Amino acid sequence: MCKRKILAIAGSNHKQSLTNMLMKGLLNEIKTLNESYEAKVICLRDYKIDYCIGCKICFYEGFCPMDEQDDFTIIRNELLESDIIFFASPVYVHNVSGIMKTFFDRISASTHLMNYAGKIGFTLTTTESTGQDDVKKYLIKMQEAIGIKNLDNYVFSNENSTMKQFVKTNGINFLKSLENNYGYTNRILEWRFGFFRNLYGNMINQDLGKEKQETFELDYWNQIWIKECRSFQEFAIKNRIVASSTKNFLQE
Ligand SMILES: Cc1cc2nc3c(=O)[nH]c(=O)nc-3n(C[C@H](O)[C@H](O)[C@H](O)COP(=O)(O)O)c2cc1C
């Protein structure tokens, strides 16, 4: 049986991270409830991840030079191979943690490519008591920006929840959300897809300005298979095939 792969990115630098523990507990519960899932948590503190240096090569050329000197390629590959992605972050001063933001900086080129289309997303926000709405909103925004269809968002507040309760309730919630889900698209994803298709579909190299030639994004959106897609849903389904083939556009 081919199992569906769940990957959770736990964004904490804390040795005994509550976010990491909750994610592991929830994924174990899900696997116990339904054997057709396999799951992995990547706790960012266990990897060498350097800060984005702001060179913008990812936007202009489609790769990050920092990948050669740290562990980010491992994370990128795990993300691309997964079917379901959790973004999990604690609230640190009413925002995501610093390490989570560094993770987002390093995948920011994907916000112009939507190359995670065809994946389903969930989020987890942990907090002592405040800031959860802002963080939750941002995690959802990041999933949708890179092409992931967000299905549900869990919040754990130390003040009024126990870990056991949280894991039991949301293990069931998770499976119900997937059971009731149809497809990989929603209104926001369709809108963003239409926006990029129009922007790059009507552009030629000379339009890109004198400073930098953003030919990578232009070439990406003008691939025949993408141009032929009439909707984000179609793009998402085809992208699942392209992303799983041995050589895709981003790796060439
Ligand atoms: C630097 C820092 C800032 C925090 N800021 C907030 C905050 O603004 N509001 C809040 O309710 N809890 C705040 N907390 C508490 C954490 O959100 C909470 O303990 C969380 O579960 C920690 O998860 P972790 O162990 O995975 O890092 C903060 C904790 C730290 C270390």
pLDDT score of 1: 75
**Mean pLDDT along residues 64-90:** 97
Q: Mean pLDDT, to the nearest integer, of 162-169?
A: 95
Query: Bridge partners of 207?
Result: none
Kindly state if the Cβ of 1 falls inside 6 Å of ligand 1: no
Instruction: Return the residue whose CA atom lies nearest to atom 22 of ligand 1.
Output: 90
Give pLDDT, residue 247: 47
Report pLDDT for 202: 78
Nearest alpha carbon, ligand 1 atom 14: 92
Taking alpha carbons only, the member of 192, 190, 178, 182 closest to residue 85 is 178
Work out the percent of the chain whose per-residue pLDDT is above 70.
Answer: 92
Q: Which of 12, 19, 91, 123 has the most ligand 1 atoms within 8 A of CB, as the residue to mutate?
A: 91
Q: Taking 80 as the threshold, does the pLDDT of residue 153 lie above it?
A: yes
CB 85 within 8 A of CB 149: no
Q: Which atom of ligand 1 is nearest to the CA of 130?
A: 11
102 Cβ below 6 A of ligand 1: no
Tell me the DSSP string of 15-74: TT-HHHHHHHHHHHHHHHH-TTEEEEEEEGGGS--PPP-S--HHHHHS--GGGGTSSHHH
Q: How far is the CA of 175 from the centre of ligand 1 (A)?
A: 28
Query: Which pLDDT score, from 0 to 100, does residue 243 have?
Result: 74
Choose one of 128, 130, 132, 163 to mutate for the ligand 1 pocket test, by most ligand atoms within 8 angstroms of C-beta: 128
| Ligand 1 close to Cβ of residue 212 (< 6 A) | no
pLDDT band, very low/low/confident/very high, at 159 (cuts 50, 70, 90):
confident
Separation CA 40–CA 100 (nearest Å): 17
Q: Distance between CA 43 and CA 163 in Å, rounded?
A: 18
Q: How far is the CA of 149 from the centre of ligand 1 (A)?
A: 27
Euclidean distance between CA atoms 41 and 88, whole angstroms: 10
Give the integer Cα–Cα distance in Å for 15 and 20: 9
Helix, strand, coil abundance in the chain, percent, nearest 5: 50, 15, 35
Which of 60, 76, 72 lies closest to 112, judged by CA? 60
Q: Which of 224, 28, 243, 33 is nearest to 119 (CA)?
A: 243
Binding site membership of 94 for ligand 1 (Cβ less than 6 Å) = yes
- State CA 130 to chain mean position distance: 24
Ligand 1, residue 21: give the atom nearest the CA. Answer: 26
CA neighbor of 126 nearest in space, from 251, 29, 12, 242: 12
pLDDT tens for each residue of 33-42: 999 999 999 9
- Is the C-beta atom of 91 inside 6 A of ligand 1? yes
Residues whose CB is less than 8 angstroms from the CB of residue 125 and which lie 6 or more positions away in sequence, other chains included: 88, 89, 90, 91, 132, 135, 136, 139, 153, 154, 155, 156
Cα distances (Å, whole numbers) of residue 105 to 11, 108, 111, 131? 13, 5, 10, 21
Distance from residue 109's CA to the centre of ligand 1 (Å): 28
Kindly state if the Cβ of 150 falls inside 6 Å of ligand 1.
Answer: no
In degrees, to the nearest 5, what angle opens at C-alpha 31 toward C-alphas 87 and 37? 75
Secondary structure of residue 9 in the 3-state scheme: strand
